[in-house]
Structures are given as structure tokens and as C-alpha cells.
Structure 1
Amino acid sequence: MSPSRQPPAPADLSGYALFFVTSAFMASNVVIGRAAAHIVPPVGLAFWRWALAFLIILPFAMPGLWHHRRALKAAGRRLLVLGALGQGICGAVVYMGLERTSATNAGLIYATSPIMILLIAAVALGEAVRPRQVAGILLALAGVLAILARGDVDALLRLAFNQGDLLVLAGAVAWAVYTIMLRGSRTPVPVVPMFAANALAGVVVLAPFYLAETLLDRAVVLSGEAMLRIGGVALFASVLAFTTYQKCIALLGPSRAGAALYVMPLWASLLAWALLGEAPQLFHLAGAALILPGVLLATLPVPAPRPAREPEELTRASEA
């Protein structure tokens, strides 16, 4: 059997199974966040999500946190900025949006994060954008407009968009900035202690806003329903999404593992339909038909060109 026709390795099969599990864990954030709307206030949900996630991961992260304590202390301000973006805006602000929009909308809008990364990197860092990527960006942005307008051309012309959709879009932009900052980081801290440090930074950043929300008569009431939703976003959307994603990278490589974000909105739609009764609308299908191919077109790596064969190799090939 030739190498090109060999069956997939067991590691690849495990990796692809984990790929779908990871994307489902990612989707659980918007589904549980929507289920928590009007039960747990948004800042309180984000605060307790990351506080609990930090406590869950702490036993595994503690040796690395102690070993790299000086590097983490030196990166303190950067960690607070990352906490404001990754746990603050991508957490509390998105949950504010989910009080006003559907999980299906949020999943589709959030899937444009790779597009935001390309745009911000091009504008702020001067990174080159190929024509193929431009086409993908335009396609995905057209899909976002279809979601924001909810299929209503008049709403598009009046720029009368749902506030919740716009808040989720702000979260997608914040996630893009967060990702670019992480990509440019030169810290020697391994991923598990860095995850714990980011979670703790998010708790610190969210604490004053959580206090203000509590004083404004929106205190978290720790009922059974509230604790179930807080535990869900902490365990599934935070710790398990992170750990399975890291394992997926190890099995499939970063490029293929990163495509889990493209599958996430499909999981969000299915879970929202099954658990929340959110039936997909025609504008959801139109948005997905534009966003998902657009993101793939813009972000899939270009295959490396095959090296030209040396004249001696060509001669040997012709003689064979």
C-alpha cells in the first residue's frame, strides 16, 4: 500500500474525535450564557465563571505558577489587559449581549473572530493580506450583516441593529485583540500556568464591576439553577474547552485544531435548538452560508509549493 493511501493513524482519529468535542465545549459558552440570562447577572456570571475555573485548574498549575512567579510578576500589567479583554469583554460583555439576542446569533457572530484577527493584524501590524483572504473577509462580513439585520433590508439601511448582536460583535473583536496579544507574547510560562494566571487576572479585573453590579441590586442569588449555569460555563466552556483544545493541538497541529472555531456555530445552533427551543431562521442559514466559507477562505493556510526537481533527479526518473 502506498504512503498516500495509508489509513489514518489512531492519533489522527482520536484527534478528530476530540476536535468535535472541543468545538462543542466552545459552543457551550453562548448556549449556557443564554440559558443563564435573567437568572445570573452578566458580570456576576463572568466573575464566578473565572473564579471557579481558576480554582479547578490551580492544583495542576501551581508548580508552574511558583516556578515562573518572577516572569508572571513582570508581565502583571499585560496580564491585566489580557484579563480585561479575554475575561471581561469576552465574558461579561458577551453575557450582556446574550440577555438581548439568541445563542444561535451569538455563535455565528463569534465565528468571525479569525476575520477580526486578520483585519486588526493588517491595520495595526501591517501584515500582508492576500486577495483570497480579502474575498473571504468580504464574504464573512456580508454574513455578519445578514445576521445583524436579521434578514431585514430596511433594518440594514437604517442601521437598526439589535444591541445584543452588537455586544457579541464587540466580544469577537476583543477576542481578536486578545489573540494577537498572546501571539506576540514572549513569556516562557507554559500554557497551563498561563491559563491560570489569565483566569486570575480576569477575576481581578472583573471584581470592581461585580461589586458595582451587586450594589445596583443585581446580586448573584446562588440558587440551584444559578450554580448549575455558573458551574457549566466554568467547567465546560472554560477548563474542558481549554484542556481538550490543547490536546487537540498536540494530536492534529495548531492549524487543524484551530478550525474547531469554524464548527462551533453549528454546535451552538444545534444545542440552542435542542436545549433552548431556538429554531434556526432563514437569515441564520444565509449568514452561515456566507460566514463559514468566508472564514475558511480567509484563514486556511496556503499549501507550500512543491520544490522543483533537480535535473539529476529528472534524469534518474526518466531512466527508471
Structure 2
Amino acid sequence: MSDRRSLLAAAVTVFLWASAFVAIRSAGVYYSPGALALGRLFAGSVVLVALLVVRREGLPPRAAWSGILVSGVLWFGVYMVALNWGEQEVDAGTAAMVVNVGPVLIALLSGWLLREGFRPRVLAGIGVSFAGAVLVGVSMSGEGSASVLGVGLCVVAAVSYAVGVVSQKPALRYGSALQVTTFGCLVGMVACLPFTGQLLSEAGSAPLSATLNLLYLGVFPTALAFMTWAYALARTTAAQMGATTYVVPALVIVMSWLLLSEVPGWLTFAGGALCLTGVAVSRARRPAQAEPDRSAKVTTG
């Protein structure tokens, strides 16, 4: 039952993170990268703190704070600002290819620092999914341009994402998914406070639809999705969870098709299929080995 719940939590996470790409595209027209990150984190923090109070979970144990601080600053803070900014400097295809280095880094860092090992199935699945992400990126590149600044920002986002996940995993040994997510989001929000002036100025001129997208990003892809992520991460390896996020490009293809009327080409479909195949490989269980029949007596002539 626990495994089913973790799979459901992972599924909720990747679905909501995929929907975030559509919302970011809309809100990002009217909100600058830092303001968008701060607004998203503020909305998410309000929801998470309310849940924390209702459930009376209180502060996480002291042992969890080092992981919360690192993941809060890097993943909730630096990652969101860098990705928002990077996608304004490079085309979507380049951003997708560079940022999807993140799960590869997670597998390497978790195998080394968390001593999770390097499982052949997980590594093979990551390789297949990364190839799919590259195909999706190439197919989405179009006439976009890749600036050095934009590529650098996407690299920063990928590294921040990977280090944030690997730092969050140990924190979940001591704190609950809600505690780790809530205080990580609060730390990220504090790190983004220098963008307060931009957020207030842009919120006054942005249309209602853009602000609603910002609030959606905070409530669902941030508060809910990061909490379900933490719940699933506590029950599996960081490398497996990183590989699972390769479902996101495939879902973005479908959502863009349905919601934005962006008809994907055959190369995009092929890349999405590879992403899904890689995730399936990474999460496949080893076949159980047959136990020897010890009830059978060996007789000799």
C-alpha cells in the first residue's frame, strides 16, 4: 500500500510540474523572473503554513535543518529564478535539454553522497529518458537563439535542482514531508525577498489572468506538488525520483497540444515516448529470484 501511495504522490507531482510550464509561459509575459519566483513562493508558503498549523506539526527537528536550508535556498530560490530568467534568454528546446541534466546529476550525487549506489536499471532509464529529452529539445528549438547567459542560467538551474534534491533527502529522515516542504519554501521565499519591489510594481499592472496563473503556480505546482514530491522521495531513492521527472516533458507536449493548440511534430512525440520508456525502465523492479526447494530430499544410489 505504501508503494502505491508513493507512486500516486509521484504522479501528482509530475502532472502539476508539467502544468507549471504552461502557467509560467503565461505569467512570465507580465512578471519578471525574480518577481514571479517570489510571488509563487509567497502563495505556496501561505498554503503550506496553514496546513502545518491545522495538522499541528510544528518545527522540524534540528537534524533536518541543514538539508532544509540548502534545498530551500538552492531549489526553491535559486532554481526558480534561474529557470525563469534562462527561459527568457534561450529557446525552449535549449532550456529543456540543459535543465534535464538535473536528474543525471541527481543520480551521480545520490550514488556518491547518499551512498544509494548506482543501480543499472536506474542509470539505463535515465540514459533513455535523457535521450528523449534531447529529442524534445531539438524538436522545440525552432528559430530560437541560445545566448551564453541563457545557457549558463539553465546550467545553474540544473545544478541547483540536483543539489537541492540530494540535500532534501536526508532531511526527510527527521522531518515530515509537510515540515520539510513548508520550511524549504519559506527559506526560498526569504532568499527572494530582494525582488519584493518588482513584484509589487508588476502586480499593479499585470492582467488578472497573469496573476491567477502566479497564484496557481504557488498553490498547486509549489505547495501541493513539492509536498507530494517530498512524501515520495522519503520512500524511494533520489535517483529514482529524479528519473521519474522525465515524465514531465511528455506531459508538457500533451498539455501544450490541448491547451495552447501547439501541435507537436513526430520528433517531439518520439522524444516524449522515449522519456516515458526511460521512466518505466528506471522504476521496474528486479524479478524475484526463485528460492531453492529445501523440502526436497536428495537421495543417492
Q: TM-score, normalised by structure 2?
A: 0.74
Pair member with larger Rg: 1
Task: Choose from 52, 59, 79 the match for 2:68.
Answer: 79
Question: Residue 146 and residue 164 in structure 1: after superposition, are their counterparts in 2 closer, same or farther (change >3 A)?
Answer: farther
Once the two structures are overlaid, the 10-residue window that deviates more, 192-201 or 132-141, is 132-141
| 2:132–2:270 Cα contact (<8 Å) kept | yes
| 2:107–2:123 Cα contact (<8 Å) kept | no
Measured against aligned partners, the alpha-carbon deviations of 1:191-232 in whole angstroms (never above 9, x if no partner) come to 212211111100111123x15x83xx9942343133212111
2:294 corresponds in structure 1 to: 311
Task: Choose from 62, 65, 76 the match for 2:58.
Answer: 65
- Secondary structure of the equivalent of 2:262? coil
In structure 1, stretches of 5+ residues that fail to align are 1-8, 316-320
Question: Residue 245 and residue 198 in structure 1: after superposition, are their counterparts in 2 closer, same or farther (change >3 A)?
Answer: closer
In structure 2, how many angstroms separate the alpha carbons of the residues matched to 1:21 and 1:131? 26
Question: Residue 278 and residue 247 in structure 1: after superposition, are their counterparts in 2 closer, same or farther (change >3 A)?
Answer: same
Q: Aligned residues: percent identity?
A: 24
2:185 corresponds in structure 1 to: 199
Alignment of 1:275-290 (within 5 A): 275-290=259-274
Q: Which amino acid aligns with 1:303?
A: R
Task: Choose from 60, 82, 88 the match for 2:77.
Answer: 88
- Secondary structure of the equivalent of 1:129? coil
In structure 1, how many angstroms separate the alpha carbons of the residues matched to 2:38 and 2:177? 21
Over the aligned positions, Cα root-mean-square deviation in angstroms equals 4.2
Measured against aligned partners, the alpha-carbon deviations of 1:24-54 in whole angstroms (never above 9, x if no partner) come to 2121222211122221111111111111111
Q: Which amino acid aligns with 2:223?
A: V
Measured against aligned partners, the alpha-carbon deviations of 1:293-319 in whole angstroms (never above 9, x if no partner) come to 33443x32542643523422x46xxxx
In structure 2, how many angstroms separate the alpha carbons of the residues matched to 1:164 and 1:147? 18
Task: Choose from 230, 249, 267 the match for 1:265.
Answer: 249
Q: Which amino acid aligns with 1:64?
A: E
Q: TM-score, normalised by structure 1?
A: 0.70
In structure 1, how many angstroms separate the alpha carbons of the residues matched to 2:17 and 2:272? 17
Alignment of 1:16-27 (within 5 A): 21-27=12-18
Task: Choose from 41, 53, 71 the match for 2:44.
Answer: 53
In structure 2, how many angstroms separate the alpha carbons of the residues matched to 1:168 and 1:24? 22
1:36 corresponds in structure 2 to: 27
1:221 corresponds in structure 2 to: 203
| 1:46–1:91 Cα contact (<8 Å) kept | yes
In structure 2, how many angstroms separate the alpha carbons of the residues matched to 1:160 and 1:200? 33
In structure 2, how many angstroms separate the alpha carbons of the residues matched to 1:81 and 1:89? 11
In structure 2, how many angstroms separate the alpha carbons of the residues matched to 1:190 and 1:135? 31
2:171 corresponds in structure 1 to: 185
1:318 corresponds in structure 2 to: none
1:6 corresponds in structure 2 to: none
Alignment of 1:128-139 (within 5 A): 128-139=117-128
1:230 and 2:214 are equivalent in the alignment: yes
Measured against aligned partners, the alpha-carbon deviations of 1:235-274 in whole angstroms (never above 9, x if no partner) come to 1211232455578799xx758x958634332221122223
| 2:14–2:248 Cα contact (<8 Å) kept | yes
| 1:103–1:272 Cα contact (<8 Å) kept | no
The number of equivalent residue pairs is 288
How many angstroms does 1:101 deviate by? 5.7
| 1:117–1:179 Cα contact (<8 Å) kept | yes
| 1:27–1:265 Cα contact (<8 Å) kept | yes
Alignment of 1:290-301 (within 5 A): 290-297=274-281, 299-300=282-283
In structure 2, how many angstroms separate the alpha carbons of the residues matched to 1:162 and 1:53? 32
How many angstroms does 1:147 deviate by? 4.3
In structure 2, how many angstroms separate the alpha carbons of the residues matched to 1:243 and 1:186? 11
In structure 2, how many angstroms separate the alpha carbons of the residues matched to 1:19 and 1:82? 19
In structure 2, stretches of 5+ residues that fail to align are none
How many angstroms does 1:76 deviate by? 5.1
In structure 1, how many angstroms separate the alpha carbons of the residues matched to 2:26 and 2:258? 12
- Secondary structure of the equivalent of 1:44? helix
